[in-house]
Chains A and B, each alone.
Chain A
Amino acid sequence: MTSRPRFATDVNYANGTAALALFGVLAWTFVNADFLPPLGFGEGEVTRSIGFAMFDMLELIPDGHGETEGFLVAFIVIAVVLDAALDGAVMLARREGEDESLVTALADGGRRLTTRERDGLDDSGPAADSGPDPAADSWEGED
Chain B
Amino acid sequence: MAGAYDFVPAIAALPLLAFVVSLFFGQYLPRRGAEAGIVATAGSLVLSMWTALTVAGVTGSATTYNENLYTWVAGLADSAVTLRLGVLVDPLTALMLLIVSLISLLVHVFSLGYMNDEGETGLPRYYAGLGLFTASMLGFVFANNLLMAFMFFELVGLCSYLLIGFWFRDAGPPSAAKKAFLVTRFGDYFFLIGVVGVFATFGTGLFAPIEGAETLHSFPELAEEAIASGASEAGVQTFFGLGPEAWFTVLGLLVLGGVVGKSAQFPLHTWLPDAMEGPTPVSALIHAATMVAAGVYLVARMYGFYLLSPTALAIIALVGGFTALFAATMGVVKQELKQVLAYSTISQYGYMMLALGAGGYTAAVFHLTTHAVFKALLFLGAGSVIIAMHHEENMWTMGGLRERMPVTYYTFLSGSLALAGIVPFAGFWSKDEVLYEALIHGLGSEGSIGTLLLAGYAMGLLAVFFTAFYTFRMVFLTFHGKPRTDTARDPEPVRWNVKLPLAVLGIGAATVGFINMVPVKKVTGAEIDYLHKWLAHGGIELTTSEHYGELLHDVAHIEQAELGPLAPGAVSLLLALAGVGAAWTLYNVPEPEEHTDRLGGVKTLLMHNYYQDEYQVWLAQGVTVQLARAADKFDQGVVDGVVNGISSVSLFVGSRFRRIQSGVVVNYATLMTLSLVLLLLAFVVAGGVL
Contact = CB atoms under 8 A, between A and B. Distances in A.
B670 A32 contact: no
Contacts of B684: 25, 29
A21 B676 CA distance: 10
B666 A18 contact: no
Interface string B666-680: 100110011011001
B653 interface: no
Main secondary structure, interface of A, reads helix
Contacts of A18: 670, 673-674, 677
A32 B689 contact: yes
B58 interface: no
A130 interface: no
Contact of B680 (A15, A19, A26, A32): A26
Nearest to A26: B680
B677 A25 contact: yes
Contact of B666 (A12, A21, A32): A12
A111 B674 CA distance: 36
A15 B663 CA distance: 16
A113 B670 CA distance: 36
Interface string A20-58: 011001100100100000000000000000000000000
A25 B673 CA distance: 11
Contacts of B689: 29, 32
Nearest to B670: A15
B670 A25 contact: no
Majority SS at the chain B contact face: helix
A22 B666 contact: no
B661 to A, nearest CB: 13
A29 B684 CA distance: 8
Contact of B681 (A15, A19, A25): A25
B674 to A, nearest CB: 5
A25 to B, nearest CB: 5
A112 B95 CA distance: 110
A15 to B, nearest CB: 5
B673 A19 contact: yes
B244 to A, nearest CB: 83
Nearest to B683: A29
B670 A21 contact: no
B673 A22 contact: yes
Contacts of A29: 680, 684, 689
Contact of A15 (B666, B676, B677): B666
Contact of A21 (B663, B669, B677): B677
B666 to A, nearest CB: 6
B676 A22 contact: yes
A19 B673 CA distance: 7
B677 A22 contact: yes
Interface in B576-616: none
Interface string A106-143: 00000000000000000000000000000000000100
Given A19-B673, A22-B676, 20 more contacts: A12-B666, A15-B666, A15-B669, A15-B670, A18-B670, A18-B674, A18-B677, A21-B673, A21-B674, A21-B677, A22-B673, A22-B677, A25-B681, A25-B684, A26-B680, A29-B680, A29-B684, A29-B689, A32-B689, A141-B663
A-B pairs, top 5 by smallest CB distance, nearest first, are: A18-B673, A15-B670, A25-B680, A21-B677, A18-B674
